[in-house]
Every structure is written in structure tokens, then in C-alpha cells.
Structure 1
Amino acid sequence: MTNEKEIKLQPFILPPDGSLVRAYGILGDRKKGIIGCCEMSRTMLWSQVNIGRFPKPLKIGRIAAWRAEDIREYLKDPENYQAR
């Protein structure tokens, strides 16, 4: 028996088009119990954004958020995705 609190992970479900998604929704967050929709590190995410292989986020102050429809488009074919 362990003293650690067991966290039940829940898959992240993309919200409807027109909504914004934060990085933890894309990558997951064990502390919040969320499984992300993309299996990559935060560093890899930003690397892919910088070379145009992942959608560019909107900046709201210091916060980065992605359009749900851009993430859906990426998930259709991640290997061949090119940012607009």
C-alpha cells in the first residue's frame, strides 16, 4: 500500500470549433489529471510551431492558446501538416 494519491487520468476532448485550447489540453497535465491529444513534450511542441509543422497559437497577453479547429486539422495528418 502506498501513501501517494492516485490520480485518475481523463482524456482531453477538443471543444467545438471557435473555442481555444491551452497547451495542457494538447500535451496533457498529470497534476490536473488530463491526457493530452498529442504525444510530445512542451519543447517539441514549440519546436514544431517554429518550423511550421504545428499550428501557431494566438497570444492573449502572456498566454498561448490554439484554435480547436487548427488542432483538429493537425490531428487528421500530423506527419504531413504544414501551418498556414
Structure 2
Amino acid sequence: MTYLENLLATVFSADVGLSDSGIARALADIRANPDRRELDGLRDELQVMLNSNDADWVSLLGNEKSEVIIVDSQEEGRKFIVDNVWNPLFTEK
């Protein structure tokens, strides 16, 4: 399981049921962790996916491992990841 798949399954999955504030706390904990492997791994994976025309955002967000959100298009899935994962983790505040 990739860093991103793990994050989606443990933080964003509907089965987990975290509130918006719970998700925000989990992402803040990842940013604050002095062991940078998870954050660096997420950044590397996301940069590859965001720069690829072959990324399958729809399957990433809804599959047998976890169901985060059902999206109707690759663009909608990409936007969800940017808004809910990339921006909170990698956009300076």
C-alpha cells in the first residue's frame, strides 16, 4: 500500500468516519512529525500522480480497500486530492 493509499484508508475512508476536525488534526500530525518519511513519501507520490495523465483518481478514491468519495470524473477526483490532501499538507499557511 502506498503512502497515499494508506492515508486515504486510515484518515479519509468513510468506514473510519473521522469528522472534518479529526481529519485536520491527523494531517497536522503528519506535518508536525519530525520523522519526515511519511510526509516526503506522500509528496513524492502526489507529485508523480499530479504530473501524470495516467493517474486513476476515480479508482484511488473508491476501491475495495477504501471508499473515500464517489467521483464522476478524473478531474473531480484530482480536485478532491488537491483540495483535501495536497493543499493541507504542502501549501504553506
Rg larger in structure: 1
Q: Which has the higher contact order (CA 8 A, sep 6+)?
A: 2
- Could you say whether these structures have the same fold, taking a TM-score greater than 0.5 normalized by the shorter chain as the test? no
Say which structure is richer in strand: 1
TM-score normalised by L of structure 2: 0.26
